[in-house]
A and B are shown apart, each in its own frame.
Chain A
Amino acid sequence: GNSVTQMEGPVTLSEEAFLTINCTYTATGYPSLFWYVQYPGEGLQLLLKATKADDKGSNKGFEATYRKETTSFHLEKGSVQVSDSAVYFCALTDSWGKLQFGAGTQVVVTP
């Protein structure tokens, strides 16, 4: 079956540092890939998505590229802010649109 594996947290960074969160997947067919973000005390929000190989999703300074050859969808941001402190979830959808999440990675950005 499908699965999503992402790096364990917490990831602790200083403000303006570069952030990378690794995500790899196994899936049959051609899933769509997503990054969701959960700020403290809130529900999940879609951060970005990519629907086919080599697509790059981007939003709020975050980027991720759908790499079919390495089955990866790593999240990056060049300069993080304290407000980026959150839990980040990598996810994929199967051909019927059902979403499957990774375990989540907590990111803590300090001033």
Chain B
Amino acid sequence: NAGVTQTPKFQVLKTGQSMTLQCAQDMNHNSMYWYRQDPGMGLRLIYYSASEGTTDKGEVPNGYNVSRLNKREFSLRLESAAPSQTSVYFCASSANSPLGQGYGYTFGSGTRLTVV
């Protein structure tokens, strides 16, 4: 089925360890996004990629890096994990329109990350 695939679904890290969250979409969407979801705070944008070859910081980029490997794939890396990064991470993609015609996003099912 077409959609956004995230791996892994669950992960436990020790403080200071590194890891990469993978995301791939097969809808030929131009834009991809990484969000984190924390209780009472909704979803906050970490990084986004408006098109292949570009990445930009979102609301909460500190402690993260991203790579837009190709049009399909957008990875999120934690170089030195901290307990404050315990969260549920969602990847999303959208067929962007510069005219803002309201294309919604398609979300992956999330990665639940715990840093101890």
Contact A95 B42 (CB under 8 A): no
Question: Which positions 84-100 of chain B face chain A at CB distance < 8 Å?
Answer: 90, 92, 94, 96-100
Question: Which residues of A in the span 66-111 have a Cβ within 8 Å of any Cβ on B?
Answer: 89, 93-104
- B107 touching A45, Cβ below 8 Å: yes
Please state if A43 and B108 are interface contacts (CB–CB under 8 Å).
Answer: yes
* A97:B42 contact, CB within 8 angstroms: no
A34-56 residues at the B interface, CB under 8 angstroms: 34, 36, 42-46, 49-51
A30 within 8 A of B: yes
Does B102 lie within 8 Å of A93, measured CB to CB? Answer: yes
**Quick one: given A42-B109, A96-B50, are A51 and B101 in contact (CB under 8 Å)?**
yes
B33 interface contact, C-beta 8 A: yes
Q: Assess whether B43 is interfacial by the CB under 8 Å rule.
A: yes
A interface residues, how many (CB within 8 angstroms) = 27
Chain B interface residue count, CB cutoff 8 Å, equals 28
Asked if B105 and A46 sit within 8 Å, CB to CB, the answer is: yes
Are B107 and A97 touching (Cβ within 8 A)? no
B98 engages A95 (CB within 8 Å)? yes
Give 24 CB contacts A-B under 8 Å. A30-B100, A31-B100, A36-B104, A42-B110, A43-B4, A43-B90, A43-B107, A43-B109, A43-B110, A44-B43, A44-B105, A49-B102, A51-B102, A93-B102, A95-B100, A96-B50, A96-B96, A96-B100, A97-B31, A97-B98, A98-B48, A99-B33, A99-B104, A103-B41
**B residues with CB within 8 A of A:** 4, 31, 33, 40-43, 45, 48, 50, 90, 92, 94, 96-110
Interface residues of A (CB under 8 A from B): 29-32, 34, 36, 42-46, 49-51, 89, 93-104
